[in-house]
Chain A
Amino acid sequence: QVQLVESGGGVVQPGRSLRLSCAASGFTFSTYGMHWVRQAPGKGLEWVAVISSDGSNKYYADSLKGRFTISRDNSKDTVYLQMNSVRAEDTAVYYCAKDPSHCGGDCYFFDYWGQGVLVTVSS
């Protein structure tokens, strides 16, 4: 069965960096696009970034202003989110999510989600 397990969360000071990881299993990772989605405390869901199956295409939410970078290592079945210059408003649960990728490319919705990892930005 599909499993997505995030790690790397925790408390980080404003302006510092953090890297999240998401280890995938139960499917052929290298053939699916992957996303990060976040949920701030008491708020709704916010899409963060997507990376195509081979890593050649990456897209981000406008609100991130170039501070985050998504990447993947298909040899390790893992997707990453590098978070730089973090701000208080980046405090959220971060979910990695799998794209069904059956739309002649990525579908841009999410058929499986990890349990999420909490990132708290605080001094």
Chain B
Amino acid sequence: EIVLTQSPATLSLSPGERATLSCRASQSVSSYLAWYQHKPGQPPRLLIYDASNRATGIPARFSGSGSGTDFTLTISSLEPEDFAVYYCQQRDNWPLLTFGGGTTVEIK
């Protein structure tokens, strides 16, 4: 099983600041990594797929980068609606799909 480790567990930032979230895989997942945003009481929302492709309707302030074992989700300038939990997910080892443990982006 490929283990995804997300850091930090919690990120405390103010609106307008830049958020940098990390996801590290226990072995290479090539570029087969997705990012999701999850707010309480709502379903997760796909943000990024294949490491750097924004999903339909996702604002340009969200960007993804990386390959192999190290990946980053960047939110260039936090909007109030961006405070949420973010998960990465690998599909390289399909069908055994795994998620990271999540990073909470909270208001400072």
Contacts and interface: CB of A to CB of B under 8 A. Distances in A.
A113 B44 contact: yes
A95 interface: yes
A109 B99 contact: no
Interface residues of B, number: 25
Given A44-B102, A45-B87, A62 B1 contact: yes
Interface in B24-67: 32, 34, 36, 38, 42-46, 49, 55-56
A121 to B, nearest CB: 22
Given A108-B91, A109-B34, A109-B49, A46 B43 contact: no
A115 B40 CA distance: 11
A115 B43 CA distance: 5
A61 B96 contact: yes
A37 B96 CA distance: 12
Main secondary structure of the interface of A (DSSP, over half): loop
Given A113-B43, A115-B43, A44 B96 contact: no
Contacts of A112: 46
A58 to B, nearest CB: 9
B48 to A, nearest CB: 10
A46 B49 CA distance: 18
A108 B36 CA distance: 14
Interface of B: 1, 32, 34, 36, 38, 42-46, 49, 55-56, 87, 89, 91, 94-102
